[in-house]
Amino acid sequence: MSIDDLRAQYEAYPYPARDPADERKRLVTGSPSHLDEVNHFVFGGRLDHARPLRALVAGGGTGDGTIMLAQMMADAGNPGTVTYLDLSDAARAVAEARAATRGLTNIEFRRGSLLALEGLGPFDYIDCCGVLHHLDDPAAGLRSLTGALAPGGGMGIMVYAPYGRTGVYPLQQALRTMTEGLPPAERVAVARRLIAHLPRTNWLLANPFITDHRQADANLYDLLLHSCDRPFTVPELADLAASAGLAVAALVEPSRYEPSMWVKDPRTLKRLEGLSWLERAAWSERVCGSMTKHIAYLVRPADLDGAVARPDGPEVVPVLRDLDGPAIGRALPPGGSLDAELMGAMVTLPLPRLAGPILARIDGRRTLAELHREVAAAVGGDLAWETFRTQFGQLFAALNGVGKLLLRRGVR
């Protein structure tokens, strides 16, 4: 497929479908590239917002990642810039209108290919969400991005995953034989007609994890009519990263990739002992069945050690994401648990005894040392640092696993 074909698709159907006026009502957030998440999984929580972050969003589409990151950088007082790059003028127009609605002035909009980045960069952080799997040569795309990555920098990528997309690929092939040479709007009409007449035995109809074909035309086009769509399993994703001189620092959310989230039988789990974390992740993907995509943070192998923040010192600052800590903390009895959604399944997260009092005080500013002091005073009695740290570690494992709790170091 030529780059012109790809561009034609995204000129006709900028993706995802967005109305700039909606920026007055809400900020679309997600992964990768939520600023707290990037700080946690790429920079070990050490991002200093006094220093300008240089970010690239490669294949920015209608702007979800760009707008989120630029807004969060502005809110954090970071004086850096987000460079938006895309082949499609139509997609860029939507992204520019969204930025204008918000009054964001920290985005540089560019038209071009991520395969030709000469003169751009270096960047501390690169977002490439939903793009690599559409390239003829995803490894060449990732190598090109790595070439623009500053020393110590990292990337957030999203690629499609095969098992959760069961039913998508046979239907893509079926439609390809019927739609060759047709203009985009006619292809959509053909696809909608076929979907309406599919037999009950069709795997896409049986797949509860995929709904894009029931949404806007741009979503249907991306799902079923894309001329190039190649999903990645966990091992294939790790190979892709390695082929560009990168390593997987983290897969989010981490609990998705933890076998014990999916299979509770201790004897089965015992047989997995000794596997590396990536092998366990690959096993989880094969068994859970519902993974439609992978979100990964990548760094150079030499930077792996310090990439992901750990709850290991009194100066660490916990940051909640999309969770009302005080409300949950007050309602949580000692030894209580939280229910969370994980890839289409409800999971129960057992929490430590002090989860309530700790959660009630996490505000994105207090350090672990301060939380320790305050929780000790609140529970009235001796609370050794080691005991507090163990309790916080358990709370962190549960909530970080489902993307709700991140860490930063004591710089702002």
Ligand X SMILES: C[S@@+](CC[C@H](N)C(=O)[O-])C[C@H]1O[C@@H](n2cnc3c(N)ncnc32)[C@H](O)[C@@H]1O
Residues near ligand X (CB under 6 A) are 6, 10, 15-16, 59-61, 64-65, 85-88, 91, 113-115, 129-131, 134, 222
SS3 content of the chain, % helix, strand, coil (to 5): 45, 15, 40
Closest CB to ligand X: residue number = 61
Q: Which amino acid is at 136?
A: D
Distances (CA, A) of 399 to 254, 379, 407: 10, 22, 11
* Nearest residue (CB) to ligand X, 113 versus 387: 113
Backbone angles phi, psi at 320, to 5 degrees: -85, 150
Which residues, other chains included, contact 363 with Cβ-Cβ below 8 Å and sequence gap of 6+? Answer: 325
Q: At what angle do helices 277-288 and 234-243 cross, to 10 degrees?
A: 140
- Smallest gap from Cβ 382 to ligand X, in A, equals 50
Count CB-CB contacts under 10 A for residue 263: 14
Shortest Å distance, C-beta 392 to ligand X: 33
Question: Could you tell me the smallest distance in angstroms from the CB atom of residue 86 to ligand X?
Answer: 5
Complex with ligand X: residue 145 or 354, whichever CB lies closer = 145
Strand 317-320, strand 405-408: pairing: antiparallel
> Which CB sits closer to ligand X, 171 or 309?
171
Helices within 13-133 (DSSP H only): 35-41, 64-76, 89-102
By beta-carbon proximity to ligand X, the closer residue of 7 and 409 is 7
- Measured from the CB atom, is 164 or 401 closer to ligand X? 164
Least distance in angstroms from the C-beta of 209 to ligand X: 18
Least gap, CB of 280 to ligand X (angstroms): 27
Helix (H, G, I), strand (E, B) or coil at 267: helix
Q: Provide the edge-to-edge strand list for the sheet that holds 149-160.
A: 107-111, 81-86, 54-58, 123-129, 149-160, 293-299, 247-252
Please report how close the Cβ of residue 73 comes to ligand X at its closest, in angstroms: 17
CB of 97 to ligand X, least distance (A): 15
User: Closest CB to ligand X among 88 and 255?
Assistant: 88
Q: Which is nearer to ligand X, 252 or 317 (CB)?
A: 252
Strand 293-299 with 247-252, pairing: antiparallel
